[in-house]
Structure formats: structure tokens, C-alpha cells
Chains A and B, each alone.
Chain A
Amino acid sequence: MTDTTNHNDFSFVRTEMAQDQPAPVNTHGPIAWLRANLFNSVGNTILTLISLYVIWIAASGIWSFTVTHAIWEGTEGADCRVEGAGACWPYIQNRLLFFIYGFYPAELYWRPNLAMGIGALLLFLLATPRIPGKLIVGCLFLFVYPFVTFLLIHGGYFTGLEEVPTELWGGLMLTLIVAVTGIVASFPIGVVLALGRRSRMPLVRSVCVVFIELWRGVPLITVLFMASVMLPLFLPEGTNFDKLMRALVGVTLFTAAYTAEVVRGGLQAIPKGQSEAAAALGLNYVQANAFIILPQALKLVIPGIVNNSISLFKDTTLVSIVGLVDLLGAVKAGTTTSTWSAPTIPVTGYLFAAAVFWVFTFAMSRYSQYMERRLDTGHRN
């Protein structure tokens, strides 16, 4: 039986699995990705090369201005007065406290620091989903914290702290105060206005419509101007509203009108069945809105609200035209300090301000995306 030789001698039958081979180089990995996305046709290749060239020019310019040619050490403007010098970083370093606190007395910096610390802590407690007691923290943040902050930063009254008038408030601190007040205080007003605009009571509805359309119809710069230039002329001589207070009220009402329209968009997206179901359960208007309608509507409009907040945060720079020294105003005023004068100093200041604004708005935007994902409980097809 020569033909019944042992099968095992024939090696064409595999007894074990072949080793996985890596895929061919040109179908995976960065090279394949480049080929599939950037160089998959002649047109795209040309576009890619042009884009790379533009990016290279921009990036190398920025890099050379902010890093390689930048001046890193110095004690006065003259040190930055160098042929072909880039950014003047010692200027930022030297004036940093001015950019943050404005004219606030240096020995009292701990007061705004403490206020900001408390705010950051409360915000952290509010923003981290796992921590319980949201209602208490929320109430603290909305109703107690503003007064604590004001008393801490302003002093005077019964606190026994030295009084620091609002003219001395400035820099990033002022920007944050205006932005946070605007965002937080405008939200409840906006929700009430949005509900009012959908109300069946003609008087309430028309009041809300007029308010919203009036405030939305004028630019913020006009509102601030009215508040700071015209308003004092209407009031009897000697009655003085605080300048910052006037700007804050203007900013808040202005933002509230926008928030109202955003929230109304969310309310309209909720099917009528929801409110009918709430009514069928015996819930009254307040209960139906508080427990059924608003939670759903507000979740829908998070992107819109954050959009508003970001745009308000940037709009706070407009307060510098009514003579409040916000971050941008402080940077501008800083460039006129007589010991700091050099050709690149204004540019350096503006770059710094832009970077600070970007950090804050980007953080807001990321947080909103996180909240959207977390609250995404349905309605997705």
C-alpha cells in the first residue's frame, strides 16, 4: 500500500492558522490616509499643496514673531526696541497684574481672588454631574454668590473692608464680572420673556414682544451708549448711578432679549402633546412648564444659549467705549505707560488679549458639547 503513505508527511495541509500579516502599506496607516484624503486626485493634490504652503507661511510667521524673534527678557520698553524684534513678552509679564485687576489696589488683590475662588468652586460643584445637592449649590450660586462677590470686591457697608469704588475695577476681573453677570442674570429673564411671548394673555404677550423686539433691534454699543451718556442727562443733576451698574443692566437686558428668542425656539420644538399630557395629569401651568416643558426645551437649545454666552463674552469688550477698563481697555491703556514704548508692544498686547479670550470661549464651547452629550436622552432618530 504505497499509496497509503502517512498523510502527515504531506505538508500542503495546514495544521495551524497562518500568522496575521500586516495590511499592505498603501491601504492603511498615515500614508494611505494621506492618499485617500489629500492626494486622491490631481485637483485635490494641488489644493493640498496650496493649503500646506499657506499654513506654512502663516505658522512660520506666527512662530517667528512669538517665539524665535520674540524678546523674552527685559525690564523696560527699550529692551524690545531691537531691529526685527518680535513679540515683547516682558511687557506682558510686567503688566500682567494690571491686565488682570486693572487699577484695583495691589494690597487688596486677595479679595477678588477669594471671590473668584469661591465662584470657581461653586461652578465646579455645579458643572460636575456626580456631585449631589445641585439645587442648594445652584441657589447659592444664583442668589447668594453675587452679593458675596460684590461685598468682597467692593468692600464698605457693614463688612469692615476698605471700600474700593467701581472705577478701580478693571482688566480680566471686570470682563469676567460683566460676562458672568450678563449670562447668569439674563437667563431667568430670558426664560420668562420666552414664556410670556407664547402666553395667551394679550397684555403679557405684547409687553414681552415689545421688550424683545426693542432690545433686539438696537446694537449693544447703542445700549451701552444710552446707558452711559444719555441716561445721566435725563436724571436730575446729582443723582448718579454707578457707571458699571448701568453697563451691567444694559448688557443683561440686551442678552435677555436674545436668550428669550433662543428659548422660544426650544419651546416651539416641544410637541403640543406634551403640554396636553401634563394638563391631563392635572398639572397646572407652572408645574407643567417646570417639570415637563422647560426641561425638554432647554436641553434642545443648549447650543443656542452657549452661542449667546460666547458672543456676550466677546461683546464685553464694548464696555471699553464707555470708559470701563476691561481686559482690552487695560491692554490699550497699558501701551501708553511711558516706560513701555516700542513698535511691537501694541501688537503683543492684542495677541495676549486674543489668546485669553480664545481660552475662555473655547472652554465654554467644549463644556456645552459635553453637556449636550450627557443630556442626550432621546429624540434622536
Chain B
Amino acid sequence: MKKAIATVALSAVLGMTATAAFAQSTTLQAVMDKGFVQCGVTGGVRGFSAPDENNNWTGLEVDYCRAIAAAIFDDADAVRYTPLTSTERFAALSSGEIDVLSRTTTWTMTRDTSLGINFAGVMYYDGQGFMVRRADGIGSALDLGGASVCIESGTTTELNAADYFSTNNIEVNTVVFEEQDEVLQAYEDGRCDVYTTDSSALAAERLNLEDPSAHVILPEIISKEPLGPSVRQGDDGWFNIARWVYFLLLNAEELGVTQANVDDMLASENPNIKRLLGVEGTFGEMLGLSNDWGYRIISKLGNYGEMYARHVGPETEIGLERGVNALWTQGGIQYAPPVR
């Protein structure tokens, strides 16, 4: 009998330590100890991560890092930023120099499987697009027959465009340049009718043209460039946090919880909202966070739709329509599993 009790006790202890080990993330512990999240960003990409007038980092991907900090510390400013170049970003993440990489990084199979990193979600579904002069009256990429296209050489952009035009039997003249700046200049000078690169970059580059409103970005997107934040492989607890902060932003938008109404929503009868904001259930604890983690994020930064509108949406200078980045309920593909 004594032996049986001992076994039960032992297994209970073992079980508890097992759960504890599962819930506790070493990265989370380290982040809590140092008091801030170290976030890898770009050296300046308009709308995604760029310094603002007051020298604070701002942008859609910056807000994601701030959301993590808000969830952990209840303080969206508990973030330190490391500007990274595209070559050193993965090394910085895997060496532990940064905790989250949120730097316009395309989620590809190679990166996900061989670099020791995990992608937590897709903050922006980007893809290659086309920009033309409004005066030309072109409404679709399929009407581009006979046009000349400015492209940066040696990039996937060039290959994507070649694939797209040949599969659609469209004859175009491609004009190839070495540098992005040259491409833009050539397009501005009228050496070609079309400028093609990733659509978010098109929108940002358009601002450097003489008259941005004289140019339109065509609706066709010819490649998949899902840009998302990533974390180190091997720390599932931290990966869960990264993933569910992103899901929470989407769920909040879907449920109509915004920065403005979040306090009223605390009294909502909707069980989904109750779970989202931590009024009911222990979902925060499952992540190793406080149960009001959802309330903390939304009250400080708003939901995904608000972040999008603030940094890259139609109201901003960049002016990107939601398109595929709309929620699944509104014709887009942003979809998050439920909080329950």
C-alpha cells in the first residue's frame, strides 16, 4: 500500500514537472528576466519597420513585436530593436541575439526546414505586382501585351515575370537593370511602361515618384511572398506565444474587438470575446502569461485590422488595399484558429 502511494506521488510529481517543463519556455524566462523583447527589424522599410519623426520604430511588423511585449509585460514599449540586414537576420535569430525576427521575411520551405527557425504566422501576404501609369488606362496585367517592363536583374522577380508572361502567352519587352533605384528612375523617365516588384515595395517606391497619384498598381499578384515573423526552433513554449499573439490579433478583428471598444467588450456576453480577453478561462496561463494577455494587447495596439490600417492601409501614404490580407470572413485569407 505504501509503495502504491509512493508510486502515485512520484508519478504525480513527475507529471507536474513534465507539465511545468512543457509550459515554461526558456526564451520566455530569459525575456522576463531581462525585461524586454529583443526584436529583429529591417534597416528601414516604409510601413513595415521604419523610424518615425520621433525616432521610434514604427510599422506593421514593429507592432507585432510590441504586441508580444504587451502580452508579456503589459507594456508595449518593452521592446528593443536590432536593425538587421537580410543576410544576417537568420544568424542573429539562431544565435539568440534576438528573440523574434519580424523583418519582411518570406516564409519558404527551405527557410522553415533548414535554418532552425519556425514561422509563427503571416503578417502580410505579399506577392509580385505591376505598376503602370494611370494615363495608359491599363486595368489588368493580361492587357500588357506589347508593353516594355522594367525589372531588377538576378532576382526571383525576373523569373516570376518571365513565367507569368509565357504561361499567359503575352509578348512583352523586358528592360533589365542592376539596382532598384535605377529601375524606378527608368520607369519615371518613361523608358518602360510597367514596373514590377513585390507589391508592398511597389507601393512604397511609388512615393518616390514625382506624382504618386499618376500611377496605379494592377490587381494581379503573380507570386506568393508570405511575410511573417519567426522564432528559434526548439522552444515550443515561445513558438506558441509568437503564434497565438498573431492569432489573437486576427481573432480580435473577427470578433469586432478594437482598441476603442475593448473596455466595453470586457462586459460582453459573447463567450468567444470572454475567452479572448481573459474574462473566462485560463488561456493566458497555458502560454505562461497572464490571463488578460488578450486585453493587454488589444487595449494598447488594437487588432490586426487596426494595425494594418495604421501603417499600410488605404488611409496611409502607402495605400495598400486589404486584398488577400482581409479576414476570411471578408474575402481574404487571414484566418486564425479559435481561442477555446
What does the 1/0 interface line of B312-331 toward A look like (CB < 8 Å)?
00001110000000000000
What does the 1/0 interface line of A218-254 toward B look like (CB < 8 Å)?
0000000100111011010110100100000000000
B43 near A233: Cβ-Cβ < 8 Å: no
The answer for the CA separation of A106 and B54 in the assembled complex, in Å, is 9
Q: Which one of B43, B53, B181, B210 contacts A83 once the chains associate, using CB atoms below 8 Å?
A: B210
Whether a CB of chain A sits under 8 angstroms from the CB of B243 is: no
The answer for the CA separation of A232 and B98 in the assembled complex, in Å, is 12
- Give residues of chain B (192-218) contacting chain A, Cβ–Cβ below 8 Å: 204, 207-211
- Give residues of chain B (7-62) contacting chain A, Cβ–Cβ below 8 Å: 30, 43-47, 50-55, 57-58
With A83-B210, A237-B95, A322-B88 as given contacts, are A332 and B53 in contact (CB-CB < 8 Å)?
Answer: no
The answer for the CA separation of A325 and B85 in the assembled complex, in Å, is 11
Interface 9-mer from B76-84, B127-135, B140-148, B159-167: B76-84
Q: Residue on A with the closest CB to B52?
A: A337
Please classify the interface of chain B as helix (H, G, I), strand (E, B), loop, or mixed, using the class held by over half of its residues. loop
Whether a CB of chain B sits under 8 angstroms from the CB of A167 is: yes
The answer for the CA separation of A332 and B80 in the assembled complex, in Å, is 20
Whether a CB of chain A sits under 8 angstroms from the CB of B96 is: yes
- What class of interface size applies to chain A in its complex with B? 35 or more
Whether a CB of chain B sits under 8 angstroms from the CB of A346 is: yes
Q: Residue on B with the closest CB to A240?
A: B97
Q: Which one of B46, B81, B84, B188 contacts A336 once the chains associate, using CB atoms below 8 Å?
A: B46
The answer for the CA separation of A327 and B145 in the assembled complex, in Å, is 45
A338 near B55: Cβ-Cβ < 8 Å: no
Whether a CB of chain B sits under 8 angstroms from the CB of A94 is: yes
The answer for the CA separation of A177 and B252 in the assembled complex, in Å, is 46
Whether a CB of chain B sits under 8 angstroms from the CB of A74 is: no
Q: Which residues of B contact A339 (CB under 8 A)?
A: 52-53
- Give residues of chain A (83-124) contacting chain B, Cβ–Cβ below 8 Å: 83, 94, 97-98, 102-103, 106
Q: Which residues of B contact A230 (CB under 8 A)?
A: 91
Whether a CB of chain A sits under 8 angstroms from the CB of B94 is: yes
A94 near B53: Cβ-Cβ < 8 Å: yes
B87 near A243: Cβ-Cβ < 8 Å: no
Q: Which residues of B contact A243 (CB under 8 A)?
A: 82, 97
Q: Which residues of B contact A345 (CB under 8 A)?
A: 208
Whether a CB of chain B sits under 8 angstroms from the CB of A32 is: no
The answer for the CA separation of A329 and B43 in the assembled complex, in Å, is 8
Number of B positions contacting A (CB below 8 A): 39
A323 near B55: Cβ-Cβ < 8 Å: no
B117 to chain A, nearest CB (A): 13
Whether a CB of chain A sits under 8 angstroms from the CB of B92 is: yes
Q: Which one of B43, B53, B88, B317 contacts A341 once the chains associate, using CB atoms below 8 Å?
A: B317
Q: Which residues of A contact B85 (CB under 8 A)?
A: 321-323
Whether a CB of chain B sits under 8 angstroms from the CB of A182 is: no
B242 to chain A, nearest CB (A): 18
A323 near B96: Cβ-Cβ < 8 Å: no
Q: Which residues of B contact A316 (CB under 8 A)?
A: none
The answer for the CA separation of A102 and B51 in the assembled complex, in Å, is 10
With A325-B43, A336-B51 as given contacts, are A167 and B80 in contact (CB-CB < 8 Å)?
Answer: yes
The answer for the CA separation of A152 and B48 in the assembled complex, in Å, is 33
B96 near A240: Cβ-Cβ < 8 Å: yes
Whether a CB of chain B sits under 8 angstroms from the CB of A333 is: yes
The answer for the CA separation of A336 and B61 in the assembled complex, in Å, is 15
B51 to chain A, nearest CB (A): 5
Q: Which residues of A contact B50 (CB under 8 A)?
A: 333, 336-338
A320 near B81: Cβ-Cβ < 8 Å: no
The answer for the CA separation of A238 and B99 in the assembled complex, in Å, is 11
With A343-B208, A346-B208 as given contacts, are A338 and B317 in contact (CB-CB < 8 Å)?
Answer: yes
The answer for the CA separation of A324 and B84 in the assembled complex, in Å, is 8
Q: Which residues of A contact B51 (CB under 8 A)?
A: 98, 103, 333-334, 336-337
Whether a CB of chain B sits under 8 angstroms from the CB of A335 is: yes
The answer for the CA separation of A98 and B94 in the assembled complex, in Å, is 30
Q: Which one of B55, B92, B210 contacts A98 once the chains associate, using CB atoms below 8 Å?
A: B55
Closest 8 CB pairs of A and B: A232-B95, A336-B44, A333-B44, A341-B207, A336-B50, A229-B91, A336-B46, A229-B88
Interface residues of A (CB under 8 A from B): 77, 81, 83, 94, 97-98, 102-103, 106, 165, 167-168, 225, 228-230, 232-233, 235, 237-238, 240, 243, 320-325, 329, 332-339, 341-343, 345-346
Interface residues of B (CB under 8 A from A): 30, 43-47, 50-55, 57-58, 80-85, 87-88, 91-92, 94-97, 181, 188, 204, 207-211, 316-318
